Chains A and B, each alone.
Chain A
Amino acid sequence: MSLDVQNLVVAYRTLRGDVRAVDDVSFSVADGEIMGLAGESGCGKSTLGNSLVRLDRTMRCLGGRALLDGTELPLSDWDAMDDFRFKKVSLVPQYSMSALNPTRRIGKMISEVVRSRKIRYKDVLPELERRLRLVGLPTDVLAKYPIELSGGMKQRVVMVLTTLLDPSLLVADEVTSALDVSTQRAVGGMLVELRDMGIVTSTIVITHDLSVLVQVADSVVVMYAGKLVERAPTATVVDAPRHPYTKLLIASLPEVGVRYAEHVLAGIPGHPPSLLDPPKGCRFADRCPLASAECAVEPPLVELESGHFVACWKAS
């Protein structure tokens, strides 16, 4: 068992009170598993992924815990997390490839990052060069400035850097989002390769794009309004989803082959509830075509069949 998250609650502090962006979420990721974390904007997927590595000052962990290889991660303690960050848990933040300092050569930038972790650049250089070659980048990218690299190359450099110390857990936040389809494919392939080569033990891939997860992930967690609503192997989520939200979401996705003239897709009416004052029962109830009186009580996460968890009264 590589990562085990139990009843995690993470909140943002605002003037109007705490916003529970992640509310009582439990799941585990096995060794060698790539888990997709899917959902729409504001559902808490990014907060969840980020909280496992860097809980910044605006966020607070209000409950629950996360065990990595049996050791509890000190999520709320920024300094104690330094022992884990980059070494055991690593994060590729959203937009990180656009956040590369334009005035630093790639090699210089990497040496500054590893030095801030008290590691000598010279010690890791041979391994760094080997890794770059492994993902198809020439080692002379180290002498280049970010502007000289394409988006896909920058994304791969960032991923090589974040996985340099063979972390147990890699959290990749929207790493394929701002990329062209051809580059998306290369980066997606790299996530799988990092796992196959044993560099990363388990991976959490956060994205709003389910079709990318179909390509790379072994299992998928679907979140809605801070709650985990469904967790299952990828093929099951796509082909036989049980939660009404997942079903409607998948039915609303246009795919090459579907045409308006032949088949008009439908979206989900309404919008997610405010997390400042979420509804008592099922959070999807007001948009759900199946909702009934029992949905006023929050449905528990139930394992319908092996590895397929659903939080819905109507699913069983």
Chain B
Amino acid sequence: MLNLENLSKSFRGGSFGSGAVPAVRQVSFSIAPGEVTSLIGESGSGKSTIGKMILRLLPVSSGRITFDGVDVASLEGSALKEYYRKVQGVFQDPFSSFNPVFRADRIFRMLEREYFGDLGAREWSAKLHTSLEAVGLNPADVLGKFAHELSGGQLQRLLVARALLLDIEILVADEVISMLDASTRVDVLNLLAGLKERGLGVLFITHDLSLGHYISEHTVILRRGVVLEIGETAKVFGNPQHSYTKMLLASVPRLHSHWEPLEPGEPARTGPRDAPRGRGRRARGQPLEPVPLLVEVEPGHLVAFEDGGTATAGDER
């Protein structure tokens, strides 16, 4: 069980950290074994930052992440190595995950050196083959190749296979299929969904609502580092409460229906999305809007409290 408690992250801006830019603010949720939790947000929402903090690739600013009751930030040296035995990640760009200078096997070679040094060559090879077959790869097709000789789908499978070599309990999947082709992405998606049957907890980070809806048991909707809606996926998608969630759902392009107008008479483009982008999006001197309280609207479904319940456009500007 991995818990996020009031997790916050600020990036230092300016020299010697003279200004702090908040990326994630007081986020709390947990990733349970045997479930996929999707963390859905648009660019700049801080969703990847949360994934990187869980993987200890970024330090936490305040709040904490606990794994089986232990604060992850306190882990060093061999304890951190043991943490990585249980918690692993797969990233967005399969090509950037492989060192272009070396063959793709290097990701396995590193694990062998660091974790399975006492394993004989034959046992290691058997273990590797089992793991590759578990993700639907034929070892002969993929071993000994360079990353550019393999397809994006094969590479992402290799990365999942790498994680499965360890005794992982939690997998952080950060936008893992957004760069794959449509005809192969669903296979990787099914592979991730299948992991929960092995008792794994998966954090599925995505900007794509349809993917999140397809795969997950729980959904967290994030905007500008703040949780706006959280709960069982069926409830969040079936009965969206926050105006932002509603706006997102209305904007998703669908295959079998057209966009419905957001608000009658209001052209779509004058909506909230014109807020300037990037880390420096908050104008200097402008006070930070407070982190809203989460209110339980039905069992297992929490929604951020909105002032007067007005449209999103109001609190965005």
Q: Which residues of A contact B (CB under 8 A)?
A: 40-41, 135-136, 147-153, 156, 180-186, 188-190, 208-212, 214-215, 238-239, 248-250, 252-260, 264-268, 271
Q: Is the CB of B272 within 8 A of A255?
A: no
Interface string of B268-283 (1 = CB under 8 A from A): 1111111111100000
Given A252-B186, A258-B210, A271-B184, A182 and B271 contact (CB-CB distance below 8 Å) = yes
Q: B111 on the interface (CB 8 Å rule)? A: no
Residue of A whose beta carbon sits closest to that of B233: A259
Judge whether A186 and B187 touch: CB under 8 Å. no
CB distance from A300 to the nearest CB of B (A): 24
Can you list the 3 inter-chain pairs with the closest CB atoms, starting with the nearest?
A180-B42, A186-B269, A268-B183
14 further A-B pairs in the complex, CB-CB below 8 A; given A40-B181, A186-B273, A189-B267: A150-B277, A180-B273, A184-B251, A188-B253, A212-B253, A214-B258, A239-B256, A249-B183, A252-B183, A253-B182, A254-B210, A259-B214, A265-B189, A267-B187
16 A–B contact pairs at CB < 8 A? A136-B267, A148-B276, A151-B277, A152-B274, A181-B253, A182-B248, A182-B273, A185-B251, A185-B259, A186-B271, A211-B255, A248-B183, A249-B183, A256-B252, A258-B214, A267-B153
Contacts from B to A (Cβ < 8 Å): 42-43, 151, 153, 181-187, 189-190, 193, 207, 209-211, 213-215, 233, 237, 247-249, 251-256, 258-259, 267-278
Known: A136-B269, A271-B151. A238 touches B255 (CB 8 A): yes
User: For the complex, what is the distance from the CA of A259 to the CA of B187, rounded to whole Å?
Assistant: 14
Complex CA–CA separation, A122 to B236 (angstroms): 52
User: Do A181 and B183 contact each other (CB < 8 Å), given the known contacts A150-B277, A186-B273?
Assistant: no
Which residues of the other chain, A, contact B255 by a CB distance below 8 angstroms?
210-211, 214, 238, 250, 253, 255
Q: Are A215 and B273 touching (Cβ within 8 A)? A: no
**Contacts A150-B277, A256-B210 given: A215-B269 contact, CB under 8 Å?**
no
A215 and B258 form a contact (CB under 8 A): yes
Q: Among A151, A254, A267, which residue has its beta carbon within 8 angstroms of that of B184?
A: A267
Q: A252-B183, A256-B254 are in contact. Are A136 and B270 (CB under 8 A)?
A: yes
Task: Name the A residues within 8 Å of B268 (CB-CB).
Answer: 185-186, 189
A152 and B182: CB pair below 8 A? Answer: no
B186, B253, B259, B277: the one within 8 Å of A266 (CB): B186
**Separation of A238 and B254 alpha carbons in the complex (Å):** 11
> Nearest CB to that of A209 among chain B residues?
B253
CB distance from A105 to the nearest CB of B (A): 15
- A185 and B253 contacting across the interface, CB-CB below 8 Å: yes
- The listed residue with most B CB atoms (<10 A of its CB), out of A41, A183, A208, A268, is A183
Contact across chains for A256 and B213 when beta carbons are under 8 A apart: yes
From residue A6, how far is it (CB to closest CB) to chain B in Å? Answer: 29
Given the known interface contacts A40-B182, A239-B256, A255-B256, the answer about A150 and B269 at a Cβ–Cβ threshold of 8 Å is no
Contact of A267 among B183, B193, B249, B270 (CB under 8 A): B183
A181 in contact with B252 (CB, 8 Å) = yes
> Which of chain A's residues have a CB closer than 8 A to the CB of B209?
181, 256
Q: By the criterion CB–CB under 8 Å, are B182 and A182 in contact? A: no
Q: Which residues of B contact A149 (CB under 8 A)?
A: 276-277
CB distance from B154 to the nearest CB of A (A): 8
Contact B253 A150 (CB under 8 A): no
